[in-house]
Amino acid sequence: MDINPILLLAALMVASTPILLAAIGELVVERAGVLNLGVEGMMITGAVCGYIVGHGSGNPYVGFIGAAIAGAALSFIFALLTQFLLTNQVATGLGLTMFGLGLASLIGQGAVGSSDLIVAKLSLPIISDIPVIGRIFFQHDPIVYVSLLLVASVWWFLTKSHLGLVLRAVGENHDAAHALGYNVRLVRVLAILFGGACAGLAGSYISLVRVPQWIDGITSGAGWIALAIVVFASWNPWRLIAGAYLFGGVTVLQLNLQAEGLKIPTEYLSMAPYLATILVLVVIRAGRAPGSLGKSFHPSS
Amino acid sequence: MLKLEKRPQPSKGWTFGAPILAVVLTVILGMGLFAILGKDPILATKVIFWDPLFGEFADLDRPDVIKKAAPLILIAIGLSFGFRAGIWNIGAEGQYIIGAIAGAAIALAFYPMEARWLIFPMTILFGALGGLVWAMIPALLRVYFKTNEILVSLMLVYVAEVLIKAMAIGALRDPDGFGMPGSRDLRRFASAANPDLIAGSGIHLGVVAAVISVIAAYIALTRHQFGFDVRLAGQSPKAAAFSGVNPNKLILICMAISGALAGLAGVFEVTGPSGKILGSFPTYYGFTAIIVAFLGRLHPVGIFLAGILLALTYIGGNLAEQSLGLPSAAIKCFQGLLLFSLLGVDLLTNYRIKFRRMGEAK
């Protein structure tokens, strides 16, 4: 066995980033009382749009932005249906995933990229030279840091800002929030759009950095794992990091074991992330979900 | 200004009208999609919805529509019970795959024994059991550990997808297949094959099972205590609890039914139309069946009609791919649009839309 633990941990951060990005978006959506099961669909649409825009413009960052816009656009369909036409959120989210998977494979036909599109690593000065720790934590592409900053900002927003308080009130009890004069729908639509943008960005990170290539079905369940992590984290932003890195760890470890040519056939190893998700859902008791999660809101009732 | 007013009772007329309006709306949206893809929208719509049933070569296409509709209806009927009661089995695709693997495994274990009276019923039984066991995992975890059945059943789809690939190159690989992935063709193993009852009609035992499931579901929902419990639990969980419905028992039963029916769909598929594990084995039925269940308004008769419609989009989509070069992914988009329109139009069933001039008193 020859697995370098330092490289393994560094790879872990890269593998976790898309799940973390998608999960932090969904966390905000769920704290606003909306359950969007369309993460997988928004993510894969983001993956293909980011890939095409990034390679088309020659600039991966333009690709990331394009992917976030594509994800938000797709989530807007969900927002319209659930907030204004009061559709069932579970069914609509599933529809969004199916539609997104179809749309992505449609858009992605014949998508070609140049292989020289590289997202430069951002080595943070001084601290990246610290032995071991520097290699693991501080020699990554900027999006890895963006994802961590996003988690911190979301934590600050939810717990310290007035708007965050409003968002939580809407998620806990939409009738009370409405009675206090807050615009429940507006808050929810904005939260849904934020969730969509994060999912889109997460998808493009897979197609522009992690793999980096467009393959049909490339997200292979990462969006669903992100949903599971939100439950695992009990809707708490900091615990989200632990969850995402745990799954990144399982993924990277199984890939490394595959490369090592272990006795276990590779097919069975690639089940590991999904089985780990189930295991964690069973073992970890989730905290209390937001009070109005998944319920439709209509001002008249 | 538009205003929504909640109806005291769901509208009877719109309960039937909404799915039809949704289909019309989807066809219009779909024509837009085809136009964007540079295909003649009217021609594409005709090829998809008209030609498989009444076109020049419809005699060849109609059996295919029946073959596609049967598994969709079978799975959707199973899902409809849980969906009514608020139990979300999203992993029917996994249960369908495991049903096929379990059935094929038991049949191949007896290869080449000639005892159809024993092997065929056992194959079908194991198929149903395989799906049932796979569905019991999320059900038991929900009952005993309060885990979310949506996520667990979905994760198990990915596990099942890995498993079928592993089986095709591992335990179930055809030993006479020159090392190619894929199992023996079960259609050529007379003891386990599920051929058309009348050659070329497309009607195999899975189709018969689908029709029986529709009738049985109708009786269960309208004439049986179980159907009443399911409907009550969906409309008002509290009222259900007071009337003595055990929610855990309901979860287990609903998941068992949907798992077993999905498993049946899988085993009928692998012994009949597709014949093999992997290769020609069609996937994605488990997800499309969710659309079928909703389009049919979770009602057995509605599901029957919706299953035929969705089967039509598959076969018509294939025709459009061959003759017009319409990408097959467009059909997946189309199916997603159908679910969107359907859910959106449902508003009319539960709410009344009122037009009001601006400034008028509330």
The minimum CA-CA distance between B145 and chain A, rounded to whole Å, is 6
Predicted confidence (pLDDT) at residue A247 exceeds the cutoff of 90: no
d(CA A226, CA A185): 24
Question: CB distance from A224 to chain B under 8 Å?
Answer: yes
A265 touching chain B per CB within 8 A: yes
* pLDDT, tens digit (0-9, with 9 covering 90-100), for B22-63: 989 999 999 999 999 888 999 999 998 888 888 888 888 899
List pLDDT tens digits, range B307-355.
999 999 999 998 999 988 888 888 888 889 999 998 888 888 888 877 7
ipTM, two decimals, is 0.87
Which one of A36-40, A212-216, A245-249 scores highest in mean pLDDT?
Answer: A36-40
Entry pTM: 0.90
Q: Of B152, B147, B158, which is closest to residue B98 (Cα–Cα)?
A: B158
- Alpha-carbon span B256 to B278, nearest angstrom: 25
Q: Collapse the DSSP code of B3 into the 3-class scheme (helix H, G, I; strand E, B; otherwise coil) and give the result.
A: strand
For chain A, give the mean pLDDT.
Answer: 89
Residue A301 has pLDDT above 60, yes or no: no
CB contact under 8 A, B330 and A106: yes
Residue in A37, A98, A265 nearest the CB of B287:
A98
Q: Are A14 and A209 in contact (CB under 8 A)?
A: yes
**Where in B9-51 does DSSP place strands (E)?**
none
Report the pLDDT averaged over residues B220-228. 88
Is A94 close to B290, i.e. CB distance below 8 A? yes
**Which of B326, B332, B352 to mutate to test binding with chain A, by most A CBs within 10 Å of its CB?**
B332
DSSP reduced 3-state for A200: helix
CB atoms A224 and B159 under 8 Å = no
Distance between CA atoms of B256 and B131, rounded to whole angstroms?
A: 8
Answer whether A259's CB lies under 8 Å from A266's CB.
no
**Rounded to a whole number, what is the distance in Å from the CA of B37 to chain A's nearest CA?**
10
In angstroms, the separation between the Cα of residue A233 and the nearest Cα of chain B is 14
- Terminal-residue alpha carbon distance, chain A: 63
How many other C-beta atoms lie within 10 A of the C-beta of residue B5?
11
pLDDT range class, residue B361, cuts 50, 70, 90: very low
Taking the C-alpha atoms of residue B265 and residue A247, their distance in angstroms, rounded to an integer, is: 33
Chain A residues with CB-CB distance to B36 below 8 A: none
pLDDT at position B2 over 90: no
Say yes or no to pLDDT of A178 above 60: yes
Cα–Cα distance measured from residue B348 to residue B17, given in angstroms and rounded to the nearest whole number: 9
Interface test with B, best of A89, A267, A269, A300 (most B CBs within 10 A): A267
**For the segment B85-132, what is each residue's pLDDT rounded down to a tens digit?**
889 999 999 999 999 999 999 998 887 878 788 889 999 999 999 999
